[in-house]
Amino acid sequence: MEEALDFPHFLDDDHPLFRFSDGLFHKECLHSHEDGPEFLRLHADYEAAREKEIAEMGEPGPPSAQLLEVLKRLGESQTKES
């Protein structure tokens, strides 16, 4: 059985890696894709920021617009080089 990873809708529609957001992928397939490592890095950043935000709010809620904006800029600066 292949291990599958599913992701929340955490990237904006106009983000270069939006197609991976809100999706379900085999771990192996994602890792072998050229944009896979970049996406996984963004997702890890999202998870870390999310955990911090939830801890500060005291309860889980939808990601704030501020958090999504931070991630969007992060993704843009990291994909410029390619």
Residue 26, interface with Zn ion (CB under 5 A)? Answer: yes
In whole angstroms, how close is the CB of 26 to Zn ion at the nearest point? Answer: 3
Contact 67, 42 (CB under 8 A): no
Residue 31, interface with Zn ion (CB under 5 A)? Answer: no
Part of the chain binding Zn ion (CB under 5 A), chosen from 4-12, 23-31, 32-40, 43-51 = 23-31
Residue 33, interface with Zn ion (CB under 5 A)? Answer: no
Q: Rounded CA gap, 6 and 27, in Å?
A: 9
Q: Which is nearer to Zn ion, 29 or 57 (CB)?
A: 29
Closest by alpha carbon to 49, among 32, 72, 27, 25? Answer: 72
